[in-house]
Every structure is written in C-alpha cells, then in structure tokens.
Homo-oligomer: A and B are copies of this chain.
Amino acid sequence: MTDMKVLIIEDDPVHRAFLREAIESALPECGLVLEAEDGRTGERMAREHEVPDIIMDLQMQQGTGVDAARTIWRERPDTSILFWTNYADEAYVRGVSRIVPAGAAYGYLLKSASEDRLRLALRSIFVEGQCVIDKEIRGVQQKAHDRSVGFTDSEYEILLDIALGLTDRAIANRRRLSLRSVQNRLQHLYEKLGVGPASHAGEEAVFNLRARAVTVAVLRKLLNRSAVEQAEQDLQRWLERHDEAAPARRAGR
C-alpha cells in the first residue's frame, strides 16, 4: 500500500525541502508528496487531489494558514492537518481551536521542536490518527481556559472590536447589546489586562485605556496581525450587509 498522499503548504523553500525529507524518512509508505507555496494554492491542491493528510505553516503571505485550514476542513472535515509553526501566540491557538471540526485528527508543533519530535508527530497523526499538541501550546490552551487569567470568548470578542477601532455604539449595534453593556465589558477587559487608572503606582492618567488595551494585548501576544486581519474581513462583510439594511441617513444629517 503506497497510496498515501501528503501535502505540504509552506512558503519557505528551505523549510519545504526540510519537510519533504522528514516525510520521506518518517513515512516510507508515502507514495506522493505534494507541495504548495501559499495558502490559496494549498486549498486548491487539497481539493483537486483529495489529500487526506496535510502539514502546513500558519503565517504565510497569501491566505493565513488558518484560512486555508478552515476551507479545507469545511470541504473535507476528516482531513488530518499538522500545523507546524514558529509561534505559540494565543492568537494562533485560538484561531486554530476555533475551526477544528469534531473528531478530526490534528497537531500543533513548534518549528523549534527536534527533528525526531517532528517525525514522531507525523506518524502519530497521519498513521495513528491521534492528536499531537506541543507541550508549550498546551500551556497556552490551559491558560486561555482558566477563568482567572485567561479570556472569555466574549471578552476576546470585544478586544477584537476595539482593536479594529470600532466605536462603542458600533460595537453595540454589531453585537446587539446596549451601549452600557459594551462599556461594561470594556471595563472588565481593562481590568483583566491590568490597564487600570493606576498603571504603575498612582500617577495621573497617562493612557487612553482603549488604545492601551490593544497594545498590551499585542505585547502579550493575545493579538497579532493575522488575527486582526481576519477580524477586519469579518467586519467588512458586516459593514456591507449593513449599508444596505440602513442606508437612510446617508446624505442626510
């Protein structure tokens, strides 16, 4: 049986070559190794060749890995995907765990892991069909689900909203909340991020909390560019749908 197929989605040619070599060594029963150098073509190749096993990088120019994974899993939810990436940002971890379908085998491995770990992960996921999550990632997942330090989905949601630069009122519309509720959530967020009115000890307001919260989130790796980019696309869709719905006060006022 050499009908096994693996698709590599990775934009760095050096890493691509490295991966191909690792696959050929760890999975000798693999008959075909395909390569794609960006998310877009990766989606297409996965579809056309009906590849059951994929290893990909998050963080690419064209289609952010998470995007690619989402569409691939939407079309064929039983695809096994191993994410192989540099960063353990909570933003990525959240992005991935949000889209993984129930029962799918997947893995999350840091590029800093040893070659042995990589080969082991390849076999575990693609042959045994079991999930492999890097230990460091586990830590991030844990922390994210911890009520005291981590962030609720609703808190994360509003964090994204202010990161996008939305007004309180706009957020209220979008999330179907009252204005006060939005401000309420914001207060909780500020508190959890530690951007209270007394950053150091007791000096007078140096920070605009709204903007400061975003910065702190970025520094803490809760947010990164691709998460914002993703949210921005969602926002644009919502805006379009809404321009039609209530175009009344366009020229007026």
Contacts and interface: CB of A to CB of B under 8 A. Distances in A.
Interface in A137-193: 162-167, 169-170
A74 interface: no
A239 B206 contact: yes
A253 interface: yes
A82 interface: no
Interface residues of A, number: 49
Contact of A203 (B206, B215, B232, B243): B243
For this chain, the copies found in one complex come to 2
A206 B246 CA distance: 13
A11, A13, A167 — most chain B CB neighbours (10 Å): A167
Contacts of A229: 219
B212 A211 contact: no
Interface string A225-236: 100110010000
B205 A167 contact: yes
Contacts of A163: 211, 215
B250 A170 contact: no
Contacts of A130: none
Given A13-B112, A166-B207, 18 more contacts: A14-B15, A14-B18, A163-B215, A164-B211, A165-B209, A165-B211, A165-B213, A166-B206, A166-B211, A167-B207, A170-B205, A170-B206, A170-B207, A203-B243, A204-B253, A210-B210, A210-B211, A218-B225
